[in-house]
Structure 1
Amino acid sequence: MTSVSKRLLFGTAGVPLSTPASTTLAALDHVKNLGLDCLEVEFVKGVKMGNDTAGLIGKKAAALGIRLSVHAPYYINLNSAEQGTRLASQEHLVSSARLARILGARSLVFHGGYYGHDSPEMTYQSIKAALRNIVSILRSEQNPVTLRPETMGKKTQFGSLDEILALCREVDGLLPCFDFSHLHARERSENSYRHFHHVLRKIEKKLGEKAISDMHIHIAGILYGERGEIKHLDLQKSDFNFDAWLQALRDVGAAGMVICESPNLETDALMLKDLYGSYRMKS
């Protein structure tokens, strides 16, 4: 298991587009050659990786100094009206966390689920109970992987900033995955340095300094409407104020992983890393 970073590390959600062979093993060499720092291993379409492959990837990532995280399947819904789906969702998270451990990944990102016909409070309680059970299973196995519920971009999805902060306060073994593009699409809030700085200080106040010094962040440009997120865009084709956002992260001393989910993946990841580096030189 890798140690906590003392700065922001930049990488891609899955295999970079320019990787010669579209495998995670090949991606590690390419991430290193590009000058990026980390990679999120995507189980978004299912947990299909074998333990032996995960072990090889983990050893190679450690040798190259590439940090890994894992994203659990998109179809997880811990608040489904169907009991079978709820139980299967818990199993998908547990199996993802077991592979994350073999990979040497410290964090497992996931989407909590949908409100459906339930109130936000009922949804919150349902997801909280499920996660307490999952964390209990993982800790009984001495699995140290941190579960990271993600802030979500659609208003039909569980995952407002306040919901995620409350969940991480009440359930041991959780830290957030902050998708700032999702928050921008969902909340339509002020897109400025002042706002980003306020959000980061709110995070620190609610969860403590660790939530700033050990962040896991998703970022992309985003197209949105009245119901929130529509689709991801390249950062420079969107209205997201990534310049002010990066400056706010620098000024609060944020550290951890920044995973780029823009359609152009490594292009935006490298742009952000270069921009962040220029800010650090000035500070």
Structure 2
Amino acid sequence: MCGKSLNWFFPLFRLVEKLLFGTAGIPLSTPSPADTINGISQVRSLSLSAMELEFVQNVNISREKAPLVKETAKKNGITLTAHGSYYVNLNSDERPKYHASVSRILQAAKILHACGGYSLVFHAGFYLGKTPSQTYGQVKEALKELTASLKDESISLWLRPETTGKPSQFGSLEEIVKLSEEVENILPCIDFSHLYARSAGKFNSNEDFASVLSQIEKSLGKEALKNMHVHLSGMNYTEKGERNHLNFSECKINYKGVLEALHEFKCAGVVISESPNIEGDALISKRYFEGLR
């Protein structure tokens, strides 16, 4: 496939016209009560432009509160995304676990849509002893089921399977890009820190980062580079991959190289900081990117 049609979501694609920087969750500096509403206002106070709602343990925004979240984000000019549940495995052969995984993604998508958000990230699953090809087939069918359900309910947002930090997890760059080619309304979440950890630190050069963006452009078209969802943080790893997130200053990840590649390819979308000092590294990224010429 040489490019991907974005027509169904084209109005949403037009909303994000440059690279926006934001936090994974409520900024640490948010005044009490540090809730979603005050967090959105604090993101603006920090001169950031995006916030990722953290639904990783549960969907912690009610249907009743969602319109207020949407209104607050709109008033402050903040773009919202979300990270879905950690408790997802679309490759599970246990039907209750599989259906629970699908349900968790759908629930997060519905609330994010009600909040005015446009992009939902999640980890798709684990290989669990299956071959990558077998796992890919099951995940693909699950995503087709999910996107059909969302379309039936007129919920227009992007589902973003994420590149993952351990080789035991489904989510190599090739797998995520191929899913985006083959399933309607799927686009990648590129977590450069996960790719760094997945390779035990070997994936860390400007050329490596540029190769990712080249592959996206070749497989999904230039429009996909204008609709990026990126995670970026420091990262600790072992020979088995990701261990835990760190601040930029605590590790050797070449975050400047990531930002330089995004600038070189004229990417638009969101860059979400998942470092422990979430707004600190988000601001470092934003300021460095804005200084590139």
> Would you call these one fold, judging by a TM-score over 0.5?
yes
Distance 1:114 1:60, change over 3 A: same
Q: Does 1:10 align with 2:55?
A: no
CA contact (8 A) 2:79 2:117 kept: yes
Matched residues in 1 for 2:205 and 2:40: separation?
34
Alignment match of 1:163 (pick from 160, 165, 175): 175
Matched residues in 2 for 1:153 and 1:112: separation?
12
SS at match of 2:272: strand
Match in the other structure for 2:282: 269
Q: Does 1:124 align with 2:136?
A: yes
CA contact (8 A) 1:185 1:222 kept: yes
Match in the other structure for 1:211: 224
Q: Does 1:222 align with 2:209?
A: no
Q: Which moved more, 1:21-30 or 1:254-263?
A: 21-30
Matched residues in 2 for 1:109 and 1:182: separation?
14
Match in the other structure for 2:5: none
Match in the other structure for 1:74: 86
Q: Does 1:31 align with 2:37?
A: no
Match in the other structure for 2:150: 138
Matched residues in 2 for 1:51 and 1:16: separation?
23
Matched residues in 2 for 1:258 and 1:143: separation?
23
Report the AA paired with residue 99 of structure 2. L
Displacement of 1:197: 1.3
Q: Does 1:196 align with 2:209?
A: yes
Matched residues in 1 for 2:249 and 2:268: separation?
24
Structure 1 runs not aligned, ≥5 long: none
Alignment match of 2:186 (pick from 162, 165, 174): 174
Displacement of 1:181: 0.4
CA contact (8 A) 2:204 2:254 kept: yes
Report the AA paired with residue 63 of structure 2. N
SS at match of 2:151: helix
Match in the other structure for 1:19: 30
Matched residues in 2 for 1:198 and 1:173: separation?
23
Match in the other structure for 1:60: 72
Alignment match of 1:109 (pick from 109, 121, 134): 121
Report the AA paired with residue 53 of structure 1. K
Q: Which moved more, 1:196-205 or 1:215-224?
A: 196-205
SS at match of 1:143: coil
Displacement of 1:84: 0.3
Displacement of 1:244: 1.5
Matched residues in 2 for 1:25 and 1:16: separation?
11
Match in the other structure for 2:163: 151
Matched residues in 1 for 2:187 and 2:45: separation?
30
CA contact (8 A) 2:81 2:112 kept: yes
CA contact (8 A) 1:4 1:214 kept: no
Displacement of 1:48: 3.3
Normalised by the length of structure 2, the TM-score is: 0.93
Q: Which moved more, 1:267-276 or 1:3-12?
A: 3-12
CA contact (8 A) 2:195 2:203 kept: no
SS at match of 1:11: strand
Matched residues in 1 for 2:228 and 2:73: separation?
20
CA contact (8 A) 2:51 2:272 kept: yes
Matched residues in 2 for 1:260 and 1:38: separation?
10
Matched residues in 2 for 1:193 and 1:48: separation?
38
CA contact (8 A) 2:209 2:258 kept: yes
Matched residues in 1 for 2:183 and 2:212: separation?
21
User: 1:108-156: per-residue Cα shift (whole Å, max 9, x none)?
Assistant: 1111011112111111111110110111111011111110000000111
Percent identity, please: 43
Q: Report how many residues are paired.
A: 280
Match in the other structure for 2:271: 258
